[in-house]
Amino acid sequence: MKVALVTGGTKGIGLAVAQALLKDGYHLGITASSQASIDQAQSALANLEDKVICKLVDVRDYAAQHAFAQELLSKWGSIDVLIANAGVGHFAPIDELSAQQWNDVIDINLTGVFNSVKSCVDALKVSKGYIISIASLAGTNFFERGAAYNASKFGLVGFSQAIMLDLRKYGVKVTTIMPGSVSTYFNNHTPSEKDAWKIQPEDIARLVTDLLHMPARTLPSKIEVRPSIPPSAK
């Protein structure tokens, strides 16, 4: 039995990854920070209750994150894959960006990944598992109004690359995925047919499952992925 934990697994990229991992035979723990999205995911994943645990776990809360990892371990015996996906965006010029917005973005997108990794790393060393962090092209391209988001994702790219070097000697792989625009609920967006040019969440899910099927000897450590033809290229 293989077990995966997907943070922010209730919608967007996380839910698509969760669905792809279920098809691949994984047992899953998925988290989110609002009960509404937990309820939605539970109905999207109905009839799979024996294979999925959906839990309200804010990635900012290390104790809760650690307790959830322990719950998966005691129920199913291992953690093989961590998808560190939960993230938010607040976009404003620095003179308008509030301390609360800054803290939310850094605490969720960067410290939240630290909390998830720290909670699972011992189990992943035992399983010789895989960590995939969902960063962003905003982790290499900076832009106006992006101070908090850019800082969180530049930080995440550095964190993920450094732990890749720390953990590969234990047989634990780490890949940083850096998507461009994906059609999700990110930043209060509602996906629609106008998003047809964007990457779809299932495309990122495909990337994740392809990585998990890569031969053990090979590690694609950092992947940039972008829409083939964005409106700006037309």
**Residues with catalytic roles:** 149
87 or 146: whose CB is closer to ligand NAP?
Answer: 87
108 or 157: whose CB is closer to ligand NAP?
Answer: 108
**Closest separation between CB of residue 16 and ligand NAP, Å?**
8
73 or 137: whose CB is closer to ligand NAP?
Answer: 137
Q: Out of 4, 5, 13, 212, which residue is the one contacting ligand NAP (CB under 6 A)? A: 13
DSSP label at residue 200:
P
CB atoms within 10 A of CB 74: 8
The two tokens of residue 37 are: 């999205």
62 or 186: whose CB is closer to ligand NAP?
Answer: 186
Does residue 119 touch ligand NAP according to CB under 6 A?
A: no
Q: In this structure, are residues 195 and 183 in contact, taking their beta carbons and an 8 Å threshold?
A: yes
Please list the alpha-helical segments (H only) found in 27-128.
35-44, 62-76, 99-106, 112-127
Distance CA 146, CA 189 (A): 17
The two tokens of residue 61 are: 């809360």
CB atoms within 10 A of CB 196: 9
**Closest separation between CB of residue 58 and ligand NAP, Å?**
4
- Please count the residues of the chain: 234
**Closest separation between CB of residue 35 and ligand NAP, Å?**
8
Does residue 10 touch ligand NAP according to CB under 6 A?
A: yes
Instruction: Using CB under 6 A, count the residues that bind ligand NAP.
Output: 29
Is residue 79 packed enough to be buried (19+ CB in 10 Å), middle (13-18) or exposed (0-12)? buried
**Closest separation between CB of residue 152 and ligand NAP, Å?**
8
Using CB under 6 A as the binding rule, the residues of this chain from 41 to 70 that contact ligand NAP are 58-60
Q: Out of 110, 182, 207, 211, which residue is the one contacting ligand NAP (CB under 6 A)? A: 182
DSSP label at residue 96:
T
Does residue 155 touch ligand NAP according to CB under 6 A?
A: no
108 or 212: whose CB is closer to ligand NAP?
Answer: 108
Q: Out of 115, 119, 136, 176, which residue is the one contacting ligand NAP (CB under 6 A)? A: 136
Among candidates 229, 222, 165, which has minimal Cα distance to 197? 229
Does residue 230 touch ligand NAP according to CB under 6 A?
A: no
The beta strands (E) that lie in the chain are given as 3-6, 27-32, 52-56, 81-84, 130-134, 173-179, 222-225
Where does this chain bind ligand NAP (CB under 6 A)? Answer: 7-8, 10-14, 31-34, 37, 58-60, 85-88, 108-109, 134, 136, 179, 181-182, 184-186
